[in-house]
Amino acid sequence: MRIEDLLKLDVKLLVSFQVILEECSVSRAAERLGVTQPALSKSLQRLRDLFNDPLFTRQAYGLSPTTRAYELNELISPILNSMTNLLQPTQFDQATLKRRFNIKADEEILLTFTEPLLAMLHYQAPNIRLMTSNWTQEGFEDLMNGVDLGIINVSSTPNNIRSKLVGAMDACVILSESHPLYFKEEITLRDLMQHNTVVFNIRNFRSATTCVTIEKLERLGYEIEPKIETDSITVTIEAVKRGMALIGSAQLGEMFSNIADCKEGFSSIRVAPLPIDAVEADPYKGRHPIQICWHERYDKDPAHQWFREQVLRFMRESPWMYYD
């Protein structure tokens, strides 16, 4: 590619050439282009100089293209057609779309939309491949490096990460019959702190809402020292089964209740509301906002936009999500 030659080309000159060829008249071509006839005549002279050819000869009925003009037309027409396509929005059909979408979200968030999303993809977009994994401390870096969507309880995102509020989810206390507080009617936060707890996917980066809440509780004198910290749902289930308390989302509480109902030998599960003193101390009052996040490179991508809107819609339709 010779850049110095390309710089001599002017798209407006190529368009002028095309219209003059179609009209075989400078005056009619000028009218179509919305320019004056003298201005278009100057453009024609530039074209002649550029291609070292008269391009058009004057005849009684108008202009007659030279052989070189016809040759140029064969080259210029597809170029202008391609440039026209650059201005057209990218079209896609989800029924034929072949693409992999990578989502990073915790198990309890996936519960809010996985079932309807998979059903929709099965019937409407069978060629889409889906990959899911837990959100990690490097989640925002992962979005910068190609992950399509991150869904997390976070109050803010980096400048090059776009986000949209999905809604908010209620927190609850999940206890098995093995926990000393299982039969206590009203549970306080101090009661909970006096017994073993398990924490599931607690975030410790500054913008995580859970981090904000933990810092506030610690300033109030509550020492949160969990017996187990894990991002494994299997480990969490076993910890709850063996008498540790879990503070999690409402849908996580329902999942534990379902497990207890169908798993032989599993203790009964109680899903209790957050203690009143915990709600009062929590800056989010026990209802934490959930953001869907993506890198700005995907913001105008029609396929990505369609996919994230499907996820957003299914999450907002979830019985566990509150959205005003």
Q: Write out the two tokens for 191.
A: 């009661």
| pLDDT tens digit sequence for 129-166 | 999 998 888 899 999 999 999 999 888 888 899 999 99
The listed CATH number (3.40.190.290, 3.40.50.720, 3.30.70.260, 3.30.70.1400) that belongs to domain 100-322: 3.40.190.290
At 219 the pLDDT is 84
In angstroms, the CA 105 to CA 183 distance is 33
Could you state, in order of their start, the residue ranges of all structural domains in the chain? 3-86, 100-322
Q: Which residue has the higher pLDDT, 90 or 104?
A: 104
In angstroms, the CA 193 to CA 220 distance is 13
| pLDDT tens digit sequence for 184-212 | 989 998 898 889 988 887 665 556 787 77
pTM over the 0.95 mark: no
Nearest by Cα to 151 from 321, 314, 320, 312: 312
Confidence of residue 90 (pLDDT cuts 50, 70, 90): low
Confidence of residue 2 (pLDDT cuts 50, 70, 90): low
- 303 pLDDT exceeds 60? yes
89-98, 162-171, 292-301: range with lowest mean pLDDT: 89-98
Contact 172, 120 (CB under 8 A): no
Q: What percent of the chain has pLDDT over 70?
A: 94
- 3-86: what fold? Arc Repressor Mutant, subunit A (1.10.10)
- 48 pLDDT exceeds 60? yes
